[in-house]
Amino acid sequence: MNYRHGFHAGNFADLFKHAALLNFLRALREENKPLQVVDTHAGAGQYDLSDPTFSRSKEAEAGIGYLLGGEVPDSLKPLSDYVWAKNRAAGFKTRIGIYPGSPLLVLDHLTAEGRYVGCELRKDDYELLKGVVLPRGKARHTDGYEGAVEAAGDDKDLLLLIDPPFEKFEDYERINECLRDVLKKQPTAKALVWLPLKDLETFDRFLRHMECELLEDQTGEGGPDIAVAELRLRPLTHPLKMNGCALVTINAPAAVVQAMGEIAEDLAKVFAEPGGKSAVWTLD
């Protein structure tokens, strides 16, 4: 377990994921139903961008720092406003000194009846996570895929956040197996899944596996609604680089899918190199 999200906190991929997540949470709040959010790979919860261990990557500087240095597109303003608010509350008035991860973002947007569970296997990040989420939420030093399946079937609506490190190729398969098992227990469960984009073959294989696990093998009235959003910073011709990232939603409201497309398009305008693009489609 060498991966630490702190090296990548606040980069373009975080902006995509967290802007979409913020929109997802706000849409679910409007449904006025108690919500349980399970974060399968929660990380440390919040990141000190001045920590030299993390700042040397300069990913936050090229991500959230670059974004806030210009005119922020409308689709990204809710996230930028939130990040600024957290920084000003922490004493950073003119610069971004901290970046709130998904645990903090979720906790700040749940209703009083909502519940957050963050799973993290790295012991050091788990200890930091506890300091961020307790007592408002729960931190678990456990396998997040197993934690998600355990949580399914609860009396609350379920939203899964799945953002593994992809240090092992098996993460691609485990995502789909986790979603399959969760949806068998709770067909209305919702999910937001983040994936890196390095080469098209790996991404296509993941989506084919998803079709088999979640659509073709479903019984009854059919499988879940699946939407895919791609953000490519450059053509997928450099398999050793992260050329972009993708988000996959399960059972998301239509307005969330539309907003996800707008976010991807705006991020492509800000960050993409020649040959970059964004796209959104449904999987059926």
pLDDT for the residue 89: 95
Cβ–Cβ under 8 Å, residues 161 and 26: no
% of the chain residues with pLDDT over 70 = 95
Q: With a cut of 70, say whether residue 220 has pLDDT above it.
A: no
Domain containing residue 229: 12-44+102-283
Question: Is the residue at 55 inside a domain?
Answer: no
pLDDT for the residue 56: 63
Q: Which of 127-131, 151-155, 239-243 has the highest mean pLDDT?
A: 127-131
Q: How is residue 107 written in tokens?
A: 């906790």
Question: Is the residue at 17 inside a domain?
Answer: yes
Confidence of residue 1 (pLDDT cuts 50, 70, 90): very low
For residues 252-279, average pLDDT: 96
For residues 168-177, average pLDDT: 95
DSSP-based three-state secondary structure for 134: coil
Q: How far is 100 from 17, CA to CA, in rounded Å?
A: 12
pLDDT for the residue 54: 63
State how many domains the chain has.
1
- Could you check whether the bond before residue 196 is cis, i.e. omega within 30 degrees of 0? no
Question: Is the residue at 208 inside a domain?
Answer: yes
pLDDT for the residue 189: 97
Long-range contacts of 177-180, Cβ-Cβ distance < 8 Å, separation of 24 or more: 177/145, 177/213, 178/40, 178/145, 178/148, 178/149, 179/210, 179/213, 179/214, 179/250, 180/213, 180/214, 180/217
Q: How far is 142 from 106, CA to CA, in rounded Å?
A: 19
List, for residues 45-67, the tens digit of each pLDDT value.
Answer: 999 988 776 666 789 999 999 99
Task: Specify the pTM.
Answer: 0.95
* Cα 57–chain centre separation: 20
Confidence of residue 70 (pLDDT cuts 50, 70, 90): very high
CATH value at residue 158: 3.40.50.150
Question: Is the residue at 66 inside a domain?
Answer: no
pLDDT for the residue 2: 47
pLDDT for the residue 222: 74
- Could you check whether the bond before residue 135 is cis, i.e. omega within 30 degrees of 0? yes
1 vs 102, which has greater pLDDT? Answer: 102
Cβ–Cβ under 8 Å, residues 277 and 208: no
pLDDT for the residue 75: 98
**Average model confidence (pLDDT) across the chain:** 93
pLDDT for the residue 218: 52
Q: How far is CA 72 from CA 15, 64, 77, in A?
A: 12, 10, 6
* Widest distance between CA atoms in the chain: 55
Q: With a cut of 70, say whether residue 180 has pLDDT above it.
A: yes
Question: Is the residue at 178 inside a domain?
Answer: yes
Question: Is the residue at 239 inside a domain?
Answer: yes
Backbone dihedral angles phi then psi of residue 230, each to the nearest 5 degrees: -105, 140
Confidence of residue 155 (pLDDT cuts 50, 70, 90): confident
Question: Is the residue at 69 inside a domain?
Answer: no
